[in-house]
Amino acid sequence: MNLRQVEAFRAVMLTGRMTAAAELMSITQPAVSRLIQDFEYATRLRLFERRGNQITPTQEAVTLWKEVDRAYVGLNRIAAVAEEIARQAAGTLRIAAMPALGNGILPRFLARFLRDKPNLHASLSGLPSSMVVEAVAAGQADIGYADGPLDRPGFTIEAHSLAAVVAIPEGHSLCAKEVIHPADLNGQRMISLEPGTIFAMRVEVALAGVSRLSTLETRLSHTALTLVSEGAGIAIIDPTSAVEFVGRGVVLRPFGIFIDAGFLVIRPSNQSRSDIIDRFSREFSTFHDQIVNRQTM
User: What pLDDT score does 170 carry?
Assistant: 94
d(CA 18, CA 104): 61
Angle between helices 29-43 and 18-25 (to 10 degrees): 100
The series of mean pLDDT values per 10 residues for the chain, 297 residues long, is 83 87 88 90 86 83 80 61 53 88 91 87 89 90 89 88 94 95 93 82 88 83 94 94 91 94 90 83 92 74
Positive or negative CA dihedral for 75, 81, 85, 86?
Answer: positive
Residues contacting residue 253 through CB under 8 Å, at least 6 positions apart: 165, 166, 168, 174, 175, 177, 178, 179, 180
pLDDT of residue 64: 83
Specify the pLDDT at position 59.
85
Residue 100 pLDDT = 87
CA dist 172 and 252 (Å) reads: 12
Structure confidence at residue 183 (pLDDT): 93
Q: At what angle do helices 59-86 and 3-15 cross, to 10 degrees?
A: 110
| Residue 1: per-residue pLDDT | 73
Closest CA to 291 of 109, 169, 163, 160: 109
- What is the pLDDT at residue 76? 58
CB-based burial of residue 260 (10 Å sphere; 0-12 exposed, 13-18 middle, 19+ buried)?
middle
Residues 6+ apart with CB under 8 A from 290: none
Which domains does the chain possess?
3-86 (1.10.10.10), 90-161+262-296 (3.40.190.10), 165-254 (3.40.190.10)
Contact 225, 250 (CB under 8 A): yes
Question: Tens digit of pLDDT for each residue in 64-101?
Answer: 887 777 777 665 555 555 555 555 555 788 999 998 89
Prediction pTM value = 0.66
Tens of pLDDT, residue by residue over 143-179, are 999 988 888 888 899 999 999 999 999 999 999 999 9
Distance from C-alpha of 141 to C-alpha of 30, rounded to nearest angstrom: 56
Cis amide linkage into residue 182, ω under 30° from 0:
no
